[in-house]
Chains A and B, each alone.
Chain A
Amino acid sequence: MRDYPGTRQTFIEMDTIPENGKGIPVDHNKIVAEKVSAFFGKVQAIRDIQINIPENSIVAIIGPSGCGKSTFLRSINRMHELIHGTRVTGKILLDGEDVYSLDPVLIRKKIGMVFQKPNPFPTMSIFDNVAAGLRMGGTHDRKNIAEVVERSLQQAALWSEVKDSLSKSGVGLSGGQQQRLCIARALAVNPEVLLMDEPASALDPIATAKIEELLFELKKRYTIVIVTHNMQQAARVSDYTAFFYMGELIEYDITKKIFTAPSIKQTEDYVTGRFG
């Protein structure tokens, strides 16, 4: 038997590094971010983000804590500016229109958001939770509201579980049901885009699987941007993945590419857990 030298595991640089977003279609972009930067006072959280989000797709944003992924998400529907002392520069286009030139309330209606921790309105019933946005938007027709509530709960895959207990409190539901209730609440105002900030991180594996299945259904009607720390979740549910690091977009490509053969070494190190 011959002697072999010691083993070594090295990353071989690609001969050529493809441009970011090589696999992202250029047509039918629902959202386009052009050189978007966001600040907390003097601290810059994200820098010159350029990203196209195709319509009816799921885009996952991954990256270590503090990389700016949630800040970017909140910049899309102008929630970032709700914090005192913050500002956003650059452009975010929704169907070609700059969201920062439009009414923020209208933007947040068109771009719904679901948060990490399910946050149903605690004093409201399941029905009223879903109807709340409609009523605040000036819809008072009972029949119309009832139809929208049912449709939204069905789209959120919750209807069959709650249809006989619509008058009960929303906070009496399980964590996974509460999160789907929040999704139904976001859907009720007929948005075009859904932003999700770690929507399944507080849920058990079964509830997580339900949310993930739901995403596949929802993308037929909506464009979805999801921030997640769960790499397997990003790989499972998204069409495209963006890797953020220290406030910059490092790589953005078809999810399959990011998780089998990323072009940038930092992405490779992050998805394989070699980071840090």
Chain B
Amino acid sequence: MDRHFQHELESLKTILIKMGSIVEENITNALQALLDRNESLAQKVFENEERINTLEIEIDNAIIDLLALQQPVASDLRFIIAAQKINNDLERIGDHAVNIAESDLNLLKMKPLDTLLELPKMVVTTKIMLRGALDSFILLDPKMAQTVLETDDQIDNLNRSMTTEVIEMLRADKRSIECGLELIRISRNLERVADIATNIAEDVIFHTQARVVKHHAEEKELIQTR
């Protein structure tokens, strides 16, 4: 039976996908601006931020309406709960894109660096994770979501390497301290984006398979009723 409620769920998903694509575009622009030293791309991130915030509120309202009026259960309930968390996650990723864009602009005022250390690798991996998380949501593919979870360690390792390498850079040339701080800031923001991508992937697994995988809950048997 094709019900009105199903159309509303589809609409919610569509608007979340729209938000996801803007957020992904913003992260891509912020990172490309870093790699290319492109100021106009960095500025675009600030312009898009307002659209993300507006969509977050729109999605929040849609979710409140669905919960209040439809009393969803089972997979519908899990979808709406996942959508609420993903909405919040996407908005946070949007904030990290802004942080990175701010660092981009600060770096543009400084002498270009010979190397961005591990950042190019982090950029590639973070973008793959974010795209994987969003695609797993669009396709409702828990296997794809699982792959995202398994990639997170790479980003954590790269982030740690970044810290070590920036410290070495500063030891060699203390005049580059401001530049080093911006690189650390970008690295941390990328690590957070990757973490949030894993949250989205965890929500996809919760929605599609009714499994709680965050905080290794299954292994620790934190879930009593499943």
Interface size class of B (residues with CB under 8 A): 20 to 34
Could you say which residues of chain B place their CB within 8 Å of the CB of A257? 225-226
By size class, the interface of chain A is: 20 to 34
Interface of B, secondary structure class, is helix
Contact call B74/A260, Cβ cutoff below 8 A: yes
Task: Evaluate contact between B74 and A4: CB separation under 8 angstroms.
Answer: no
Given contact pairs A257-B226, A272-B72, A2 touches B24 in the complex (Cβ within 8 A): yes
With a cutoff of 8 Å between Cβ atoms, the chain A residues found around residue B75 in the complex are 11, 261, 268, 272
Q: Which of chain B's residues 168-226 have a Cβ closer than 8 Å to chain A?
A: 208-210, 225-226
Kindly list chain A residues whose C-beta atoms are within 8 Å of the C-beta of B71: 232
In chain B between 72 and 124, which residues have their CB closer than 8 angstroms to a CB of chain A? Answer: 72-79
Given contact pairs A9-B9, A10-B140, A271 touches B73 in the complex (Cβ within 8 A)? yes
A residues in contact with B3, CB < 8 Å: 273-274
- Would you call A276 and B225 a contact (CB within 8 A)? no
Closest CB-CB distance, B56 to chain A, in whole Å?
Answer: 17
Interface string of A4-47 (1 = CB under 8 A from B): 11011111101100000001000000000000000000000000
**A 238-276 to B, binary, CB cutoff 8 A, 1 in contact else 0:** 000000000000000010111111100001100111111
Partner of B1, one of A4, A231, A275: A275
Q: What CA separation (Å) do A8 and B137 show in the bound complex?
A: 10
Contact B77 A260 (CB under 8 A): yes
For residue B17, which residues in chain A have a CB less than 8 angstroms away from its CB?
A: 4, 7
- Residues of chain B within 8 A of A274, CB atoms compared: 1, 3, 6
Complex Cα spacing A5 to B20, Å: 13
The answer to whether A23 and B13 touch across the interface, beta carbons within 8 angstroms, is no
Residues of B close to A23: CB separation below 8 A: 225
Cβ-closest chain A residue relative to B71: A232
A82 at the interface (CB under 8 A from B): no
Contacts A7-B14, A12-B140, A12-B209 known; A273 to B24 CB distance under 8 Å? no
Q: Which positions 1-50 of chain B face chain A at CB distance < 8 Å?
A: 1, 3, 5-6, 9-10, 13-14, 17, 21-22, 24-25
Q: Can you offer 7 A-B residue contacts whose CB atoms are under 8 A?
A: A2-B24, A4-B21, A8-B139, A11-B75, A12-B142, A260-B73, A272-B74
